[in-house]
Amino acid sequence: MLQHVTLEIAPDQVADCVAFWALLGFTEMVPPPMLRDRYTWVEREGTQIHYAPSDDPSRPAREGHVAIVAPDYEAVLRALTEAGYELTEGSNAWDAPRTFVRDPAGHRVEVMSAPPHLPWPGE
């Protein structure tokens, strides 16, 4: 299990990014005392996203991304669309739809209907 990913964002993007992850079923949690002044964390079922506010955040990757399996794929896509996010359909590489979206800070997020599994289509 991947436990967490840390993403740099501008300080004024924290609330919008927390709201974005709420659409994916994540809730804000309180970091340990020695990290509270530096990070904002969200969590779902033991997996966490740690936002590191920075006055000069690194640029979001073009292809690099965080991927999550949505608890209810269609409902999550609907919630993202209703919230104004632009969705891009991913290739159906393992007989399970997936969609890409950018969080408010520009980080690419893959929303999967199911995790990859063998056998691969076409083999």
Q: Where along the chain do its domains lie?
A: 4-54+66-112
Residue 121 pLDDT class (50, 70, 90 cuts) = confident
Query: How many CB atoms within 10 Å of residue 27?
Result: 11
Query: Which tens digit of pLDDT belongs to each residue from 46-94?
Result: 999 999 999 999 998 999 999 999 989 999 999 999 999 999 999 888 8
E strands along 65-107, which residues? 66-69, 88-89, 98-102
47: exposed, middle or buried (C-beta count within 10 Å: 0-12, 13-18, 19+)?
A: middle
Report the pLDDT value the prediction gives residue 7, as an integer from 0 to 100: 96
Query: How many CB atoms within 10 Å of residue 2?
Result: 10
Indicate whether 1 pLDDT > 80. Answer: no
- Looking at 3.30.460.10, 3.30.70.920, 3.40.630.10, 3.10.180.10, the CATH number of the domain 4-54+66-112 comes to 3.10.180.10
Q: What is the pTM of this model?
A: 0.92
